[in-house]
Chain A
Amino acid sequence: MQSPQGFEPKIISFLCNWCSYGGADLAGVSRLQYPANTRTIRVMCTATISPHHILKAFQKGADGVLVAGCHIGDCHYIKGNYMTIKRMAVLRELLRFTGFQEERLYLDWISSAEGVRFAEVIRNFTQKIKELGPSHLRTAY
């Protein structure tokens, strides 16, 4: 998706059903503007996202992957995001070690009341990915 103005990244965002998806919903009904580069995948909990899913997203040419869930302590399943943060820490470090630009993977906590923050997170992340340019894996497909 190369627009005439420049590079338009593809970003896959995994949003948890209870908090971040609610946040996205609130941003929507509040008519907040944010870049349309993200493709949302709603999951019941961020802990259901295996590192495989993220790797597969990158493999298929995603320029960035955003994982957003409930704040620590607010998880609908009590401790789901405890696992998420551990997995993301490991995966980012692995991506760094193998040279696959770990900045393309971003983890944040967004509650269902944070519509404004949701729009802000998406804006910042999209901006960062635009600066980084297309993913190295994208050219292979």
Chain B
Amino acid sequence: MLEKVKELLKSEEIAGFIGLRLQEGHPGPHLFTKDHLEDLESLWVGETRYPLNKVLLKVADQYPELTLGVMVRGCDERGLTELFKWNQLRKDRVVPVGVACGRELAEACECYKPFPSKWVVGEKTEGISKSKRLQKIEGMNQKERLRYWLNQFNKCIKCYGCRDVCPMCFCEACSLEDRNFILTGKLPPENPTFHLSRAVHMVGRCIDCGLCEEACPSSIPVRTLYKKVGEMVMDIFGYRTGEADEAKSPLNLLGEVTLDLSDVNK
């Protein structure tokens, strides 16, 4: 990792590298540059996951002419692919440096692809295709599901942590802050509108990094909800979010109609 980044910076292939650095004993984001190569001594990889794409978006927004490097895990790479597709970043201005996740992390995430296309750190572990969290919910009947989700959603303190940490939440105006949709000054927020609105917005966007759930102070299993969204997009539209292909997110364009009324009103 260190050598690779050093080499990229020295050859001026990239103007800066966004990675993690140990600061006061905690890993945090840092922009490594050629002028401060000594910073690389404290470059951190570990098992820490961090929304580096979000940092990248901010930096790229201010310096659109620069080519930047970024540390990516499997999920981050899927995120980059989607950000390119949604025209938030330029593909030729980003150089990803890959990290493959360990077995333990992959299992905790139930990640179907815990490695990027190319990596310099770690060993490839097989992805997990079946999610136990989803199976648990699907095993319940309608009443149990309703009770489960209402109980979970009602823990919400509307801190917007899930949105703020989400690398795919790049909209300038957020409908979750629209007074016409979400009442202000009321806790918990209107459920299920609040959470299902966000879930609808995750269609073709959520790359299953799970940072939302980690950020949630009330431990609402939002990741399970968005995992379902990802599975749904696959089942209904045959679109795998984050896959590097020509296809665009299904709700991002009109496209052609592949569904029938009977598919909707099942």
Contacts and interface: CB of A to CB of B under 8 A. Distances in A.
Decide if A and B are genuine partners: yes
Given A99-B146, A100-B146, A86 B193 contact: no
A90 B203 contact: yes
A52 B175 contact: yes
B251 A93 contact: no
B26 interface: no
Nearest to A97: B228
B181 interface: yes
Interface in A93-141: 93-95, 97-102, 106-109, 136
A121 to B, nearest CB: 11
Contacts of B147: 99
B248 to A, nearest CB: 12
Contacts of B250: 86
* Chain A contact surface mostly: helix
Nearest to A85: B259
Interface stretch (B15-23, B61-69, B115-123, B136-144): B136-144
B255 A82 contact: yes
B225 interface: yes
A37 interface: no
Given A52-B193, A85-B259, A106 B265 contact: yes
A136 B196 contact: no
Given A90-B232, A100-B146, A83 B225 contact: no
A91 B202 CA distance: 12
A90 B146 contact: no
Contacts of A99: 140, 142-150
A55 interface: yes
B111 to A, nearest CB: 20
A94 B199 contact: yes
A86 B249 CA distance: 12
B173 interface: no
Contacts of B232: 90, 93-94, 97
Interface size for chain A: under 10, 10 to 19, 20 to 34, or 35 or more residues?
20 to 34
Interface size for chain B: under 10, 10 to 19, 20 to 34, or 35 or more residues?
35 or more
A98 B181 contact: no
A88 B142 contact: no
Interface of B: 137-138, 140, 142-150, 175, 181, 190, 192-193, 196-197, 199-200, 203, 225, 228-229, 232-233, 236-237, 250-251, 254-257, 259, 261, 263-266
A42 to B, nearest CB: 18
A98 B146 contact: yes
Nearest to A87: B251
28 contacts: A51-B200, A52-B175, A52-B181, A59-B193, A81-B257, A82-B254, A85-B264, A86-B251, A86-B259, A89-B263, A89-B264, A90-B200, A90-B203, A90-B229, A91-B200, A93-B236, A94-B228, A94-B232, A97-B138, A97-B145, A98-B145, A98-B146, A99-B148, A100-B146, A100-B192, A106-B265, A107-B265, A136-B146
| CB-based closest 3 A-B pairs | A99-B146, A99-B145, A79-B254
Contacts of B233: 90
A50 B181 CA distance: 11
Given A59-B190, A86-B259, A92-B266, A97 B137 contact: yes
Interface in A45-83: 50-52, 55-56, 58-59, 72, 79, 81-83
B235 to A, nearest CB: 8
Contacts of B229: 90, 94
